[in-house]
Structure 1
Amino acid sequence: MTQEEVLTLLLVAPLLLLQSLFLFTDARKRGHKYWFWGLWGLIQCPVPLLFYFIFARKIFSEKKKIEEELK
């Protein structure tokens, strides 16, 4: 391995591990399929994180918008 490959690996590996850990713990706390999110978080970055926020956490839900308008 070249020096650049080693440095890239040292930067990417912790990023993927942290993302996976966050997805696993947050999905477990909220009752989603936590094993799926944790494993998917190890594969690539940041697509699983974006999909988790959009589909599992539903940050763009209509209910939230209505509640915010009522405040």
Structure 2
Amino acid sequence: MSSFEKLALMVCGVILLSQSIYLFVDARKNGFNQWMWGIIGLIQAPIPLIFYLIVKKIKKKEEDELYDYRDY
């Protein structure tokens, strides 16, 4: 294994680990299943992060609509 391959592997590891930590912490803060998102974040990048941000936006929109109906 060349030094370039080792460096690329380390960079990929850092990206996956940081993505997983972000997903875990943010999912806990927003009431999602943090373990599921953390483990999914370790599998590949960046698809789990993009999917999580879309799901988070949809859930927030639904909650905002629910609170709008409670005002009446």
- CA distance in 2: counterparts of 1:42 and 1:48, whole angstroms: 9
Matched positions, count: 64
Structure 2-normalised TM-score? Answer: 0.76
Runs ≥4 residues deviating over 2 A: 59-64
- CA distance in 2: counterparts of 1:54 and 1:24, whole angstroms: 16
Structure 1-normalised TM-score? Answer: 0.77
Between structure 1 and structure 2, the one with the greater Rg is: 2
Structure 1 or 2: more helix by fraction? 2
| Long gaps (5+) in structure 2 | 66-72
- CA distance in 1: counterparts of 2:40 and 2:2, whole angstroms: 28
RMSD between aligned alpha carbons?
2.1
